[in-house]
Structure 1
Amino acid sequence: MTGLIAAATSAADKRAALKAGLNSGTIQRFPGAFNPLVAKLIQEIGFEGVYVSGAVLSADLGLPDIGLTTLSEVAGRGQQIASVTDLPVLIDADTGFGEPMSAARTVSVLEDAGIAGCHLEDQVNPKRCGHLDGKAVVPTAEMVRRLRAAVSARRDPNFVICARTDAAGIEGIDAAIERAKAYVDAGADLIFTEALDTAADFEKFRGAVSIPLLANMTEFGKSELIPAQTLESIGYDAVIYPVTTLRLAMYATETGLREIAATGTQSTLLGRMQQRSRLYELLQYERYNEFDSDIFNFTLGRNQ
């Protein structure tokens, strides 16, 4: 019954898969999971990885994405999600939850939680959502210290440390490229440039940075929504869809609740619901029944 209650793939193997995927020449697609059940669906459909968004985790707690969540909350949710999927999980670790020493501890805690990689950003605290105006970034040297601390704390060399820069919308693309190069020198495995506008911007970054690159295809933000195939042809190695599943779910939930409030029944909504049989299929109920039968399938012999 391997892989039933928990993932069959070890954390070490998931990290190795992430590292290999980033160097495969095939773009790695990471939809966001707002809970473990969504992560199971992401795996079933055939994506390469699962993303855990800080904005989504904050929203799930009823909070804005301004750095209010803690390392323990993020790691706890990440561990729940990573435990049910064989896919590598990449998680948003904000600014590392404090000073460079805190960033080092963040990496240790996330490794212990079974996460395959994290990204750290160069915003100041309190941070803002990456596609909002009014952000501020720390000096490059401060972010370099943050990254070096994170890299020094890594025990598994395959744990991916991604450096995110929010500088493009503040200092311009050229400045963001210079920051990215410094972050590569500091030991980053992957570069994530937030809030680029057009495919040409993504191409410019690809031409300037030597290591794997991640694109953020979030809705209602500053970036043009570029298909994964196009990003791959530009030379990008990973793409995240951080808030998509939460937005889909919340839209459907709000629509349904308003219908119930207006009519007093959910009867007209049944065609828009996941049926019980499909939920049970995703949860592998039948395998749990087999598991029970295998464990408890015995008869008591007659006393001699």
Structure 2
Amino acid sequence: MKKTSKLKHLLNSPQNPDFIMEAHNGLSAKVVEEAGFKGIWASGLSISATMGVRDNNEASWTQVLDILEFMSDATTIPILLDGDTGYGNFNNARRLVKKLEQLDIAGVCIEDKIFPKTNSFINGEAQPLASIEEFCGKIKAMKDTQMDEDFIVVARVEALIAGWGLEEALKRAEAYRQAGADAILIHSKKSNFNEIEAFMKEWNGRHPVVIVPTKYYSTPKEEFRRLGVNLIIWANHNLRASLSAMQKITKQILIDESINHVEGSIASVEEIFRIQNAEELQEAEKKYLP
């Protein structure tokens, strides 16, 4: 099955909600697949952080594509790109779709903010939103550009983040559905599930819905299922896990002036070779070298 078809199936599976996990490079993408997840969220926050820049489109979209190529080559499960605003207007967004299909990326999520964007959890109320008409045109351009009928475009609604209210969120979601989006991502920064629950009740299952429970993480999965959520994204946890581990180990080595006390708590070099599939190259060398 094509990666695009796999992602489409995740969105429309009768066993919803399903989960996809954040990754930010080829290594973390392989970790996600080996763990058993059925899909990968290529997080804009995480990818920019690995470059040492902010989540404000400081990394160019072509630099993001370079990382996506390694992620796609390293895995067999579908990747959904966190595509920010589409990196510009409708023309930038449709070119993005063309390049993503060439890299075998299964889909892209775009948000209804203004380029360059700022992360939603940083002063979200002050961030302007795109007009509904402009964003719908962007969605239509992307859907008209795709060559693979199963390629997924997810429209992310930022009205709740911006403090514009439930009515505006529903209005935008419906417009994006009619414009051709394959799913709606409704985003909230509240620590409880109230905003999402209110949206889901009014939405009433009219189109697939994706959520990102970074802030309301204590909500049981059963609540998501009850309200008809289709896909759940764990959006940044591999990055956060690796960052805390690196900080802890690096500080310990500095203090100890030795690696003796950390060797037992980090991955072995052999494990790195395994995940790189070094053995395959050794076998190929036996076959092809004199």
Q: TM-score by structure 2 length?
A: 0.91
> Which residues of 2 match residues 179-190 of structure 1 at below 5 A?
179-190=172-183
Alpha-carbon shift at residue 196 of structure 1 (Å): 5.0
Alpha-carbon shift at residue 224 of structure 1 (Å): 4.1
Alpha-carbon shift at residue 252 of structure 1 (Å): 0.8
Match of 1:155 in 2: 147
Match of 2:158 in 1: 166
Q: Distance in 1 between matches of 2:63 and 2:18?
A: 26
Alpha-carbon shift at residue 110 of structure 1 (Å): 1.1
Asked if 2 retains the 8 angstrom alpha-carbon contact of 1:74 and 1:93, the reply is: no
Q: Percent identity?
A: 26
> Which residues of 2 match residues 6-17 of structure 1 at below 5 A?
13-17=2-6
Write the deviation string for residues 103-151 of structure 1: whole angstroms up to 9, x where unpaired: 1111111111211000111011231112222222112111111111111
Q: 1:215 aligns with which of 183, 206, 211?
A: 211
- Three-state SS of the structure 1 residue aligned to 2:261 is helix
Q: Distance in 2 between matches of 1:21 and 1:255?
A: 36
List alignment gaps of at least 5 residues for structure 2: none
The alpha-carbon distance between structure 1 residues 46 and 267, as it changes in their structure 2 partners (threshold 3 A), is same
Paired residue total: 283
- Three-state SS of the structure 2 residue aligned to 1:292 is helix
Asked if 2 retains the 8 angstrom alpha-carbon contact of 1:148 and 1:187, the reply is: yes
**Which region of structure 1 is more displaced relative to structure 2, 133-142 or 179-188?**
133-142
Q: Distance in 2 between matches of 1:41 and 1:184?
A: 33
Match of 1:121 in 2: 111
- Amino acid paired to 1:23: N
Q: TM-score by structure 1 length?
A: 0.87
Match of 2:199 in 1: 205
- Three-state SS of the structure 2 residue aligned to 1:262 is helix
- Three-state SS of the structure 2 residue aligned to 1:30 is strand
Alpha-carbon shift at residue 101 of structure 1 (Å): 1.2
List alignment gaps of at least 5 residues for structure 1: 1-8, 299-304
Q: 2:97 aligns with which of 91, 107, 120?
A: 107
Q: Distance in 1 between matches of 2:264 and 2:166?
A: 47
Match of 1:91 in 2: 81
Q: Distance in 2 between matches of 1:231 and 1:291?
A: 47
Asked if 2 retains the 8 angstrom alpha-carbon contact of 1:256 and 1:266, the reply is: no
Match of 2:40 in 1: 50
1:143 and 2:135 correspond:
yes
Alpha-carbon shift at residue 18 of structure 1 (Å): 0.8
**Which region of structure 1 is more displaced relative to structure 2, 119-128 or 189-198?**
189-198
Q: Distance in 2 between matches of 1:66 and 1:264?
A: 37
Asked if 2 retains the 8 angstrom alpha-carbon contact of 1:216 and 1:240, the reply is: yes
Write the deviation string for residues 137-194 of structure 1: whole angstroms up to 9, x where unpaired: 1121111111111111111111100001111132012211110010000000011112
The alpha-carbon distance between structure 1 residues 275 and 227, as it changes in their structure 2 partners (threshold 3 A), is farther
